Amino acid sequence: MQLSRPARIVLRVAAALGFTVIYVPLLLVLLNSFNAARGFGWPPSGLTLHWWADAWHSSGARSALWTSVKAGLGATAVSLVLGTLLAFAVSRYRFFGREALSFVVVLPIALPGIVTGIALNTAFRTVLEPLGVGLGLFTVVVGHATFCVVVVFNNVVARLRRTSGSYEEAAMDLGADTFQVFRDITFPLVRTALLAGGLLAFALSFDEIVVTTFTAGPGVQTLPVWIFGNMARPQQAPVVNVVAAVLVAASVIPVYLAQRLSADSAAGGRI
């Protein structure tokens, strides 16, 4: 598109402003974790590494992190299995209700988390609790997996749409059976899509707070729940600042991995 020079300059300035607005709050979080003052004072009176040492020894933050990792791994595993099965069914078969099914998969992330949260909460309490399964890490994994399925599904469907079934057919013509075709042809084709989908699912679960609030039993605290609980406590402020800074810094990792894994999960379908 032939843009006039002023138009280019306007766009450049607007983009620069936009990126500034995006990054200033994140940089502020990083800077604030070194703020010497316990309470929040701006501009910072001095810089210190003291709070980082404090945070390192904070048992609450540590166990919350560990809970988050376990919940994330569980939800990722479940959603990888379910999402992949669903993706194969939807993209390789025609059946009644196929369109509706693709719609239902999107619902858990499209509907407000609070609705999903109370729905699952009441269901768990009325169905699982009489069976002796109380709210706990297990129910958190179930809740998270419900909305993680869609990211695996989307990644795998996108990949399957771009690879026709002709490779599989060729393999079958050459005498491979269903399992061999899957192991030697189909799985290698979708492997990076699975990795990318799993990564997204883990990150989604790691960040989730609303559904967690309603599906976690007492004593099960993920990192977001811990942060939210300690945000308003002046005593904990420095540790919260450090944890927040670590999470900002760590957000570079999944981007880096996703970029390396596959092109279709990096820019187009991010959720």
- In the region spanning residues 67 to 106, those forming contacts with other proteins, defined by CB under 8 A, are 81-83, 85-86, 88-89, 93, 95, 101-106
By CB under 8 A, tell whether 45 contacts other proteins.
Answer: no
* Residue 88 burial (C-beta neighbours within 10 Å; 0-12, 13-18, 19+): middle
Site string for other proteins, 237-266 (x = CB under 8 A): ---x---x--xx--xx-xx--xx------x
Cβ neighbors of 27 (< 8 A, separation 6 or more) are: none
Residue 219 Cβ, how far from other proteins at the closest point, in Å?
18
Q: How far apart are CA 86 and CA 213, in angstroms?
A: 28
By CB under 8 A, tell whether 185 contacts other proteins.
Answer: no
H or E segment to which residue 74 belongs: helix 59-92
Among 75, 80, 140, 142, binds other proteins (CB under 8 A): 142
Q: How many residues bind other proteins (CB under 8 A)?
A: 92
Segment interacting with other proteins, rule: CB under 8 A, options 52-60, 69-77, 139-147, 190-198: 139-147
Residue 1 Cβ, how far from other proteins at the closest point, in Å?
4
By CB under 8 A, tell whether 43 contacts other proteins.
Answer: yes
Q: How far apart are CA 232 and CA 40, in angstroms?
A: 12
Nearer to other proteins, 220 or 223 (CB): 223
In the block, which residue shows the tokens 């030697």?
A: 184
Local structure of residue 39 (DSSP, 8 states): S
**Cβ atoms of 55 and 244 closer than 8 Å:** no
Residue 115 Cβ, how far from other proteins at the closest point, in Å?
5
Residue 173 Cβ, how far from other proteins at the closest point, in Å?
13
By CB under 8 A, tell whether 178 contacts other proteins.
Answer: yes
Residue 57 Cβ, how far from other proteins at the closest point, in Å?
21
DSSP for 153-221? HHHHHHHHHHS-THHHHHHHHTT--HHHHIIIIIHHHHHHHHHHHHHHHHHHHHH--HHHHHH--TT--
